[in-house]
């Protein structure tokens, strides 16, 4: 009898109290598996306190749901006098480890919207105390000047004493389905704009978390701001047809990227980049290392000519093809990351979602070659750059894609990269977000 069968038997034959007593005697981990498996993303995992509460004689359903879904409980607010207009950016964290991709884009949009409307700007974080220096760093690296004061406040998910003062002039820019859900619990929908940068339903297996996310995305009383036209097409083709009239989209910008000039006759070693995030399942870490292992073992990528870098978090030490140990780099600050990306010749960036993700675009802007995967409406990224190829995510297709791009990179090592612009992306956030800001103001 497996674990689930045992739990079912206890529940059917001993009742809820019998099951709880068995758990108290040493089976808390089993209940954690039952209730928490689908809830480990986005801070939805039941805590030890949740499990102890369940182990009481009386099972309080409301208390259990509140504790299991603390991030989406109504934002604690109180009315107070305030400015005539204020933009509230609500996100989990703006600390250094959170500033790439979506969070940085949210910061930039909130600043440009505040500048355009003359509103005050307040950053509200939910899981970590806000880091004002990180906020300023994002603006500096993206060439955006903002001289007005910014208010930073933390309204912690688990802090029962935390409250946020609100007034009639407050508008909210939310950055995930869970921050949107918590704000919707306290603020009228007409004052909420949801910056949506991925199909967040894909963060979960089909279950309670997926359902709650879907319910937020189905709402027709808030405005959605979608990162890329491709992602919006995905939404309207997967059951969210209302977004055709309730959403606006933009393409990201890539300002101040460090470009590597063509260097004919360069005999230095080539650099390979792998976007390695084993704990972010959509990044297909294991398919990536599986293919790289074959590419090295078969001599397609020669360790005598290439240095291989794995960039990410929680990356184990590995040996590719039995002969090559990748150089593992942790998350870098923005400026260091830009300089590093500019040194790369070829990158493998996998993302099993309909958004192109930022790393392939980061690389292409600097002139690097990129292999990434197709997914749904994401079939071809040539509209962004001819230096990106998009192939099916099966091992054979990825290996052949890498083979072709390795040959191309090695040829360019001898002749130099082609001169001129390698992409069709904006280099100005003011330009990229101009239409969105005008619609939101």
- Report CA dihedral (149, 123, 93, 251) to the nearest 10 degrees: -90
What is the model's pTM?
0.84
Mean pLDDT lowest among 186-200, 201-215, 255-269: 255-269
| CA–CA dist 141, 255 (Å, integer) | 8
pLDDT digits (tens, 9 = 90+) for 273-289: 999 999 999 999 999 99
Q: Which residue has the higher pLDDT, 6 or 257?
A: 257
pLDDT band at 99 (very low <50, low <70, confident <90, very high): low
pLDDT band at 15 (very low <50, low <70, confident <90, very high): low
Average pLDDT value for the chain: 88
**Mean pLDDT value across residues 226-245:** 97
- Kindly tell me if the per-residue pLDDT of 267 is higher than 70: no
DSSP 1: -
**Mean pLDDT value across residues 406-422:** 87
pLDDT digits (tens, 9 = 90+) for 146-187: 999 999 999 999 898 999 999 999 999 999 999 999 999 999
Q: Which residue has the higher pLDDT, 270 or 422?
A: 270
Q: What percent of the chain has pLDDT over 90?
A: 73
Query: Residue 311: phi, psi to the nearest 5?
Result: -115, 120
- Kindly tell me if the per-residue pLDDT of 27 is higher than 50: no
**Mean pLDDT value across residues 112-128:** 97
**How confident is the model at residue 423, as a pLDDT?**
87
Residue corresponding to tokens 């990269």? 417
**How confident is the model at residue 415, as a pLDDT?**
87
- Kindly tell me if the per-residue pLDDT of 330 is higher than 60: yes
pLDDT digits (tens, 9 = 90+) for 351-403: 999 999 999 999 999 999 999 999 999 999 999 999 999 999 999 999 999 99
Rg (CA), the chain: 24
Strands 327-329 and 388-391: unpaired
Run of H or E including 226: strand 223-227
| CA–CA dist 65, 335 (Å, integer) | 42
Domains of the chain (ranges plus CATH)? 3-68 (no CATH), 77-253+432-440 (3.40.50.11090), 270-415 (3.40.50.2000)
92's tokens: 């989990």
**How confident is the model at residue 53, as a pLDDT?**
56
pLDDT band at 334 (very low <50, low <70, confident <90, very high): confident
**For residue 110, what are the contacts with CB-CB under 8 A and spacing of at least 6?**
87, 89, 121, 123, 173
pLDDT band at 60 (very low <50, low <70, confident <90, very high): confident
Are the CB atoms for 107 and 334 separated by under 8 Å?
A: no
């Amino acid at each position: 009898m497996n674990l689930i069968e045992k739990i079912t038997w206890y529940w059917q034959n001993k009742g809820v109290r019998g099951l709880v007593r068995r758990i108290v005697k040493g089976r808390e981990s089993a209940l954690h598996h039952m209730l928490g498996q689908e809830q480990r993303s986005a801070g939805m995992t039941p805590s030890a306190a949740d499990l102890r509460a369940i182990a009481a004689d009386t099972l309080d359903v409301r208390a259990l749901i509140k504790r299991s879904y603390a991030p989406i409980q109504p934002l604690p607010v109180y009315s107070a006098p305030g400015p005539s207009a204020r933009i509230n950016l609500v996100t989990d964290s703006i600390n250094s480890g959170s500033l790439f991709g979506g969070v940085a884009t949210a910061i930039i949009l909130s600043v440009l919207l505040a500048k355009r409307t003359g509103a005050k700007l307040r950053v509200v974080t939910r899981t970590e105390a806000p880091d004002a220096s990180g906020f300023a760093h994002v603006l500096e690296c993206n060439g955006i000047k903002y001289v007005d004061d910014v208010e930073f406040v933390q309204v912690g998910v688990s802090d029962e004493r935390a409250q946020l003062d609100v007034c009639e002039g407050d508008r909210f820019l939310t950055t995930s389905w869970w921050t949107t859900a918590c704000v919707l619990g306290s603020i009228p929908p007409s004052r909420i704009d949801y910056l949506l940068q991925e199909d967040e339903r894909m963060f979960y297996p089909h279950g309670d978390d997926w359902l709650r996310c879907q319910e937020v995305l189905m709402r027709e009383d808030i405005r959605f701001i979608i990162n890329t036209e491709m992602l919006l097409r995905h939404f309207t083709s997967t059951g969210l047809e209302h977004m055709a009239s309730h959403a606006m989209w933009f393409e990201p910008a890539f300002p101040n990227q460090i470009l590597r000039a063509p260097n004919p006759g360069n005999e230095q070693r080539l650099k390979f980049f792998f976007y390695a995030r084993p704990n972010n399942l959509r990044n297909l870490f294991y398919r990536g290392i599986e293919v790289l292992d074959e590419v090295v073992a078969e001599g397609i990528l020669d360790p005598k000519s290439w240095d291989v870098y794995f960039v990410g978090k929680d990356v184990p030490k590995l040996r590719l093809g039995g002969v090559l140990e990748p150089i593992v780099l942790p998350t870098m600050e923005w400026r260091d990351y830009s300089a590093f990306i500019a040194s790369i010749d070829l990158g493998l960036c996998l993302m099993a979602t309909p958004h192109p993700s930022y790393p392939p675009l980061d690389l292409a802007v600097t002139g690097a070659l990129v292999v990434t995967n197709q997914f749904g409406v994401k079939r071809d990224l040539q509209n962004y750059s001819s230096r990106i190829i998009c192939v099916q995510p099966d091992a054979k297709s990825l290996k052949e894609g890498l083979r072709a791009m390795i040959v191309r990179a090695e040829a360019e090592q001898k002749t130099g990269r082609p001169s001129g612009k390698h992409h069709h992306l904006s280099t100005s956030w003011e330009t990229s977000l101009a239409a969105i800001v005008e619609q939101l103001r």
